[in-house]
Structure 1
Amino acid sequence: MTDTDKLELSEKPITNRRTFLKTIAGVGLLSATPQSLLSSDTDDLLLKKFSDTGERLPVIGMGTWITFNVGNNIQTRNQRTQVLGTFFKLGGGLVDSSPMYGSAEEVLGYALDRLGRPQPSLFSATKVWTPFSRRGEWQIEESHKLWGLQQFDLYQIHNLVAWEHHLQTLQQHKHEGTIRYIGVTTSHGRRHQELEQIIQTQPIDFVQLTYNILDREVERRLLPAAIEKGVAVIANRPFQGGDLFFKLAHKPLPNWAGDIDCENWAGFFLKFVVSHHAITCAIPATSQVKHMIENMGALRGKLPDSKTRKRMVDYV
């Protein structure tokens, strides 16, 4: 039996310490597990409500940009399957991808097949990415095939490309039931003025944008607008594409990080992001199981209050 086979999902994600310990021990990961996951003050996953129906999402999701663009290499695909399996096992839900991400959607479909369908906690999120409306229809159809899904939980317009045309298309698919929620995305601080206008005037359910402990411009206008309009927010680049780890390499994790159940920088950065009232979910990307375990540590324990958030910003 391979490690990937061992990571097949049970009906429910892990929500208590005992089951978590058994799972990671079974795949040889116990020694790599941060202590915060072994001794969290709470067994509950951190979830946030994002719709009028009361539906909730785990605050830590998963991105696939670069990390799942691995082509046809079976060994690498199986390793990414293990990463995805670990994500689900530790309580993850939202998985985000795009046609822009090369083979990522195809690799996700492969991994979902290997892990076994259906995955009850999966909240599937992808995007349309083309300036041409007809090609957008083709992309939507192709994404359904690649993921192996009849219905997507969330379909987004990538980087606002031709958003006026694609929004009408997505609304039709939502009406037909092949899409549950609609959103738009941006990253790297681009097109914020236009994004704010869309939040204020268009019938969208989600917005995706860049937010991390150093890139906080969205706190001024975009996040308040999302709160006002009841739009859920997905935070991309919560690690600034990995740069935060390099920028803080010279600093030790502060001792008081333990007060919010953080024993690594990944948890520190992620808990800052998801503790903002407007943020529904953060989507860090990784290609390594050990890093996924660190990321998912932020799904449990305490979140920083406003005073601690300021202290975190001042420290970095």
Structure 2
Amino acid sequence: MQTRRQLLHRTALLAAITALGSLVPGAAKAAEPLRLRKIPSTGEWLPVIGLGTSRTHDIPLDDAEMQDLLKVLRVFVEGGASLIDTAPSYGNADRVVGELVQRQRARAQVFLATKVSATGRERGLEQIEDSFEALQTDVIDLIQVHNLQDTRTQLGLLRELKEQGRIRYIGVTHYVESAHDRLLEVLKQEPVDFVQFNYSVSERNAEKRLLPYCADNGIATLINRPFTRGSLLSRVKDTPLPAWAGEIDASSWAQLLLKFILAEPAVTTVIPATSNPRYMVDNVLAGQGRLPDERQRRLIVEAFR
């Protein structure tokens, strides 16, 4: 039985899709509930589809593209998603996210994740305080040490801020497979709530040790680069979607790629970046319906060879 909240999400998202027009095949299914998974350290539920902001949200606040980003946020929130991942190193993205959330009056509906990428405690604290101001919030849901920069110092600082109630969760990140062993060593030495790393059809190294370790040790995972910076979608842009995609309720190649990732139970949330409302609807759809079994995952891999 659907909850009142799910019903409201369905109704609101249908209105958003109607406003966008019939731009996405299968968009009528977007009124279904978004799949949720637990954050192991607390049991809090988190939607499996999030939003990355690298490149896509690095614009001036008075740029005309802010209107499209507002539409993206509307579809995102009304589709039941919540986690927005940003960083000071993404140019103006922290400030843009803060302004969008404020304009949409959506702070209570979003899970704000940013990063610290400084060296030294003083510089780290300065950067974090800047993020609080940019994001226009008194509490940040998650701050991550970006690309393992000065990890021990920054994690120590983040723990202090978490104890003060200013941060709800802490974590570490990287974006290349060559850093997975370093991530794993940090996870073994430093207690964190989240770890973010790359994982996709073409970058599967995380399956060997990183994902199993997170599953066994109760660490939430955020997945970046799900489309390998768009290169995977470029491979199939002129290729018809295979008929078997319907077996897992996928109506686009992007959905197949995201469902491939979500079929791994150790994945908490995947965070594709977009500035296109149509693509945001597509991403929300990937978080609904059936997920591929091992046979279907092999078919997806073969389709992108």
> Does TM, normalized by the shorter one, top 0.5?
yes
Matched position secondary structure for 1:278: coil
Note if 1:99 corresponds to 2:92.
no
Matched position secondary structure for 2:64: helix
Alignment of 1:260-299 (within 5 A): 260-299=248-287
| 1:121-174 C-alpha deviation (Å, 9 max, x unpaired) | 211100001123211101111101111111111110000010011010001011
Contact 1:128 1:158 in 2 (8 A): yes
1:81 to 70, 89, 99: 70
Larger mean Cα displacement after TM superposition, 186-195 or 141-150? 186-195
Q: For residues 7 and 48 of structure 2, what CA distance do their matches in structure 1 show?
A: 15
TM-fit CA distance, 1:80: 1.4
Matched position secondary structure for 2:89: helix
Note if 1:115 corresponds to 2:104.
yes
| 1:206-251 C-alpha deviation (Å, 9 max, x unpaired) | 0000001111011001111111211111000001111111122343
Where structure 1 has 5 or more consecutive residues not aligned to the other structure, the ranges are 1-10
TM-fit CA distance, 1:84: 1.4
Q: CA distance change for structure 1 residues 15 and 45 in 2, over 3 Å: closer, same or farther?
A: farther
Q: CA distance change for structure 1 residues 77 and 43 in 2, over 3 Å: closer, same or farther?
A: closer
1:127 to 115, 118, 128: 115
Contact 1:200 1:225 in 2 (8 A): no
Contact 2:49 2:270 in 1 (8 A): yes
Contact 2:148 2:172 in 1 (8 A): yes
Note if 1:148 corresponds to 2:136.
yes
Q: For residues 295 and 194 of structure 1, what CA distance do their matches in structure 2 show?
A: 30
| 1:10-44 C-alpha deviation (Å, 9 max, x unpaired) | x957666555323321x2x1311321x3147x933
**Aligned counterpart, 2:15:** 22
Residue type of the partner of 1:195? Answer: L
Matched position secondary structure for 1:159: helix
Matched position secondary structure for 2:60: coil
Q: CA distance change for structure 1 residues 288 and 161 in 2, over 3 Å: closer, same or farther?
A: same
Contact 1:15 1:45 in 2 (8 A): no
TM-fit CA distance, 1:253: 1.5
Q: CA distance change for structure 1 residues 18 and 125 in 2, over 3 Å: closer, same or farther?
A: closer
Q: CA distance change for structure 1 residues 149 and 139 in 2, over 3 Å: closer, same or farther?
A: same
Contact 2:41 2:193 in 1 (8 A): no
Q: CA distance change for structure 1 residues 13 and 43 in 2, over 3 Å: closer, same or farther?
A: closer
Note if 1:186 corresponds to 2:174.
yes
Note if 1:314 corresponds to 2:302.
yes
Q: For residues 107 and 154 of structure 1, what CA distance do their matches in structure 2 show?
A: 17
Matched position secondary structure for 1:139: helix
**Aligned counterpart, 2:28:** 38
2:197 to 209, 214, 238: 209
Residue type of the partner of 1:308? Answer: Q
The 4+ residue runs of structure 1 with deviation greater than 4 A are 11-19
Where structure 2 has 5 or more consecutive residues not aligned to the other structure, the ranges are none
| 1:171-220 C-alpha deviation (Å, 9 max, x unpaired) | 10111111111100000223222111112221111000000111101100
Residue type of the partner of 1:69? Answer: D
Contact 2:140 2:166 in 1 (8 A): yes
Matched position secondary structure for 2:84: strand
Contact 1:49 1:56 in 2 (8 A): yes
